[in-house]
Amino acid sequence: MLRYLTKRLMLLVGIVFVISVGSFYLIHLLPGNPATVILGFGASPEAKAILYKQLGLSKPIYLQYFVWLGNILHGNLGISFISQTTVSSVIRSALPIDAEIIILSQIMAFAAAIPTAMRSARKPDGIIDRVLGATSFTLLSIPPYILIVVLVLFISIKLGVSGTGPSAYVSLGTDWITNLESLSLPAFTLATVSFVVYYRILRSDLIATLQEEFITMARSKGISQRRIMWCHAFRPSSVALLGAASVNIGGLLAAGFVVQYLLQIPGLGYTLILAINESDFLVVQGIVLTVSVLVVAINFFFDFVINMVDPRISRE
């Protein structure tokens, strides 16, 4: 177990390193002088000089990386051009929103996917199974942003509600009812996308597990169908589910960005896109770095959990 963990940890370090190099290099993809582009043409020569020094732009490129890395490790991600506050504070205020949306969406997705997948696996090719299968396939193909457009259309026209906009969002601490209200739409959209993936994967894995001999043995012990599903079939199949969750959540962060932007919820996604449009490059770089590291960290967390559920994996 320990050897497995250390191997994975080393891999994690390697990946984070690659991410850092990639994020660092982004600035140099910009056409022209980075300092000019970042600060804009109207910037004063002093501001340019400070930035020059900060980024170490006069030095050769590999040294620049270390200058940059040093800054990062001190928590200094630069200054946001738009808001004139530090990038790290921008990120710090936006991140909890993304976290909440994702958590909410996953709770909904799992709560819906697990019972339905169990049901479908017990009676494959029944009516419910077929309907769910066709629906999920269709939904899988529809991009989340289209779902949003459709939902927004539906909600604003039919129900006459608008409750979106940066002012509509309120943090949990202040007023949790409005908070949940404002986040329900993005959470629901992400939940739908996740549900579809989880349902299909869990169902197919359950069907495979249910054909195994130990299920027949459990049956022969005289225990109930429900117990067989939940205590015997679910656990081996949950590995596949957790694997799917791991991959899915990484993709969700990105899908969530678009959704946030459409609904004007001030999470990382919204901030990122605004920054792109306003050419606030340091913010973009900061968010890309943060999100990438987070995604990788989440993946590794899930790896760990999977290992706890099914110890066979680390024993190999």
Partner 1 sequence: MSDDKLLVVKDLTTTFATAGGDLPAVAGVSFDLARNETLGIVGESGSGKTVLSRTIMGLQPRVNTTVSGSSIIDGFEVVGASENEKRTIWGTEVAMVFQDPMTSLNPVMRIGKQIDEALRVRLGMNRKDAKARAIELLELVGIPSPDQRYNAYPGQLSGGMRQRVVIAIALACSPKLLMADEPTTGLDVTIQAQILNLLDELKERLKMSVILVTHDLGVVATRTSRIVVMYAGRIVETGTTRDVFYHHRMPYTRALLESSPKVANKSHTRLVTIPGRPPNLLSLSDGCSFAPRCKYATDQCHLVRPELQPSVEPGHTFACWNPLPINAEATLP
Partner 2 sequence: MSSFSLEEAALMVEKPEKSEPLGLFFWICVFWIGLNVFGAIFANVLPLPNPLTENFNAINVGPGLHHLFGTDDLGRDIFSRIVYGSRVSITVGIGAILIGFGVGAPLGMLAAYRRGRFDSFLTTIMYVLLAFPAIIATIAVLSFWTPRSLFKIIVVIGVASIPLVYRVIRTATLSVATKDYVIAAKVQGATDRRILMKELLPNIAPIAVSFFLIGVATVITLEGALAFLGLSVNPPTPSWGNMINEARTVLTQNVWLAFFPSLALCLFLIALNFIGDRIRSHFDVTEVKL
**Would you tell me which residues interact with partner 2 (CB under 8 A)?**
11, 14-15, 18-19, 22-23, 26-27, 29-31, 137-138, 140-143, 145-146, 149-150, 152-153, 156-157, 211-213, 216, 250-251, 253-255, 257-258, 261-262, 272-273, 276-277, 281, 284-285, 288, 291-292, 295-296, 299
Distance CA 196, CA 108 (A): 12
Tokens of 191: 């939940």
**Please, which of residues 228-267 interact with partner 1 by CB under 8 A?**
231-232, 235-236
Q: Is 50 in the site for partner 1 (CB under 8 A)?
A: no
Shortest gap between Cβ of 126 and partner 1 (angstroms)?
A: 11
Shortest gap between Cβ of 208 and partner 1 (angstroms)?
A: 13
| Contacted entry of partner 1, partner 2, none for residue 111, CB cut-off 5 to 8 Å set by kind | none
Interface residue with partner 1, options 95, 219, 247, 274 (CB under 8 A):
219
Select 174 or 220, whichever has its Cβ closest to partner 1.
220
Select 271 or 314, whichever has its Cβ closest to partner 1.
314
- Site for partner 1 (CB under 8 A): how many residues? 23
Q: Is 79 helix (H, G, I), strand (E, B) or coil?
A: strand
Distance CA 80, CA 82 (A): 6
Shortest gap between Cβ of 125 and partner 2 (angstroms)?
A: 9
Alpha helices, DSSP H only, in the chain? 2-26, 34-39, 45-55, 61-73, 87-122, 127-141, 144-153, 176-210, 213-220, 225-227, 234-263, 268-277, 281-309, 312-315
Shortest gap between Cβ of 26 and partner 2 (angstroms)?
A: 5
Tokens of 20: 């850092």
Is-contact 240 205, C-beta < 8 A? yes
Q: Is 44 in the site for partner 1 (CB under 8 A)?
A: no
Q: Is 308 in the site for partner 1 (CB under 8 A)?
A: no
Kindly list the distances between the CA atom of residue 292 and the CA atoms of 12, 52, 61, in Å, as whole numbers in the listed order. 12, 26, 22
Q: Is 158 in the site for partner 1 (CB under 8 A)?
A: no
Tokens of 201: 């994967």
Select 3 or 221, whichever has its Cβ closest to partner 1.
221
Residue from 186, 188, 193, 191 nearest 258 by CA: 186
Residue corresponding to tokens 């906009």: 165
Shortest gap between Cβ of 48 and partner 2 (angstroms)?
A: 19
Question: By CB under 8 A, which span of 7-15, 54-62, 90-98, 212-220 interacts with partner 1?
Answer: 212-220
CA atoms within 13 A on the CB side of 141: 5
- CA 261, 262, 268: angle at the middle one, nearest 5? 20
**Contact residues for partner 1 (CB under 8 A)?**
212-214, 216-225, 227, 231-232, 235-236, 309-312, 315
